[in-house]
Amino acid sequence: MKVTNIYCLLIIFLVCVTSSSLTQARSKSSTKVIAVHAETRTCFSRRSPCFLHRLTCPRQCPSSHPKDPKAKVCYIDCNSPICKAECRNRKPNCSGRGAACLDPRFIGGDGIVFYFHGKSKQHFSLVSDPNLQINAHFIGLRPSGRTRDYTWIQALGILFDSHALSLEATPAASWDEQVEHLKFSYDRQQLNVPKGYSSSWTSANENLKIERTESRNSVIVTIQEIAEISVTVVPVTKEDDRIHNYQIPPNDCFAHLEVQFRFFELSPKVEGVLGRTYQPDFKNPAKPGVAMPVVGGEDRYRTSSLLSADCKSCLFSPVVGLNQDLDSMKDLGILDCRGSTIIGQGIVCKN
C-alpha cells in the first residue's frame, strides 16, 4: 500500500514538472528577440581628426536615417578630437550652441545667450568668413508705445564658393502644419525639394545637400566641409503672443525660422552677429545675469540684400576662400603641383 502511494506521488510530481517545462517553453517561443543592427559611420574628410575612423552607432540611435522622423539619429562630429558616435535630434535645438530662435535669441559658439533685435524688413549678416556668408532677413512689428521692433528671422541667404542658396518662411494668415511653408532657391532660381520625410536634393557637384527631417517645413542643409544648418518653420503661437504681448494681427501668424548652425572650419577672424562668438579670443558684450542680454551691431552687420556680402565687417570673398582651400589641399597632399596635367584638372599651381 505504501509503495503504491509513493508511485502515485512520483507520477504527480513528474506531471507537474513536465507541465511547467512546457509552459516555459511556450513562453520563450512567444518572446521575440529583436536584433539591433547598428550602422558604422566614417569621416572621409582629410582635415578631420577622425579621418577614415570606423565608428559604430549607439544602440539608442543605431541609424543615421531612422524611419521614425521623431527618433534620434546617429551623428558623428568629424571635427571633434573625440571620435565618437552620439545620438541627437535632427531639428534645431534652441538651447544648444549655434541656435537662433524666437525673437531672435542666439546662443553663441562660446555658449552665451544673447538677443539681437535688428530691424524689421532689413538684412543682417549672421556669419561672414572668406568662404561662407550667411545673412538673415528680419520680419517684425512695432505695437503702439514700443521703442523698437519685435523681430523674427524670416529667411536665410547663404553664399559659398560661387553659389547662392536661400531658405524662406512663406507668409501665412494662419498656421497649418499640413501646408508647406518653406521655399527654396539655388543660384537665384526656384528650387523644388521633393516632399516627404528623408527626401533630399543634392547639387550637381555634390557639395550641397538639402534633406527633409519632416514631411514638410523642416530640413537639414549640409554644405560639404563648411557647415550644417538645421531649419524648421514655426508660427508665433497664441501663447507666445499672450506672454510677450506681441499684439500679432489676426491675418498674419508671422511664420519664421528656428535655426541651429554647426560649422566645420571657420577662420579665427570670422565675423557676423553669431559668427564673431566663434573667434578664439572673443569677449561677449552680453551682460551676465540679465534676463534679456541685448547686443548691438546693426550698423556693422547690415547688408543691402539677402544675398549680399557688403556689410562693414563682412569678410566673404570666393577668391580668398578658394585660395585657402587650395593651400589646405597642398598641405595635405591632395593637390599635385608637380606639373601633371591629369591631376590638376585645370588648376595652375604657382610658387
Q: What is the per-residue pLDDT across 38-97, written as a single tens digit (0 to 9) for each?
A: 889 888 877 788 999 899 999 999 998 888 888 898 988 887 888 999 998 889 999 999
Are 114 and 290 within 8 A, CB to CB?
no
Per-residue pLDDT, averaged over 231-260, amounts to 96
What pLDDT score does 8 carry? 52
Instruction: Say yes or no: 152 and 66 in one domain.
Output: no
Instruction: Say yes or no: 177 and 107 in one domain.
Output: yes
From 46, 64, 88, give the residue that closes a domain: 88
Asked if residue 312 is part of any domain, the answer here is yes
Instruction: Say yes or no: 181 and 222 in one domain.
Output: yes
Asked if residue 177 is part of any domain, the answer here is yes
Asked if residue 140 is part of any domain, the answer here is yes
- Percent of the chain, pLDDT > 90? 64
Per-residue pLDDT, averaged over 243-248, amounts to 94
3-state secondary structure of 129: strand
Asked if residue 52 is part of any domain, the answer here is yes
Confidence band of 320 (pLDDT split at 50, 70, 90)? low
The answer to whether residue 16 scores a pLDDT higher than 80 is no
Confidence band of 318 (pLDDT split at 50, 70, 90)? confident
What's the domain range around 155? 90-316
Instruction: Say yes or no: 74 and 181 in one domain.
Output: no
Q: What is the mean pLDDT of the chain?
A: 85
Distance CA 259, CA 333 (A): 36
Domain count, the chain: 2
Instruction: Say yes or no: 81 and 226 in one domain.
Output: no
Asked if residue 21 is part of any domain, the answer here is no
Asked if residue 246 is part of any domain, the answer here is yes
Instruction: Say yes or no: 166 and 47 in one domain.
Output: no
Asked if residue 5 is part of any domain, the answer here is no
Instruction: Say yes or no: 217 and 83 in one domain.
Output: no
The answer to whether residue 27 scores a pLDDT higher than 90 is no
More confident residue, 4 or 98: 98
Those residues whose C-beta lies under 8 Å from the C-beta of residue 42, and which sit 6 or more positions away, are 52, 53, 54, 55
Instruction: Say yes or no: 165 and 75 in one domain.
Output: no
pLDDT digits (tens, 9 = 90+) for 179-234: 999 999 999 999 999 999 999 999 999 999 999 999 999 999 999 999 999 999 99
Are 61 and 72 within 8 A, CB to CB?
yes
Q: Specify burial of residue 79 (Cβ count, 10 A radius: 0-12, 13-18, 19+).
A: middle
Asked if residue 350 is part of any domain, the answer here is no
Instruction: Say yes or no: 44 and 148 in one domain.
Output: no
Instruction: Say yes or no: 113 and 256 in one domain.
Output: yes
What pLDDT score does 79 carry? 76
Instruction: Say yes or no: 223 and 234 in one domain.
Output: yes
pLDDT digits (tens, 9 = 90+) for 113-171: 999 999 999 999 999 999 999 999 999 999 988 889 999 999 999 999 999 999 999 99
Distance CA 327, CA 216 (A): 40
Among candidates 318, 199, 64, 131, which has minimal Cα distance to 184?
199
Q: What is the DSSP letter of 181?
A: -
pTM, two decimals, is 0.80
Instruction: Say yes or no: 59 and 75 in one domain.
Output: yes
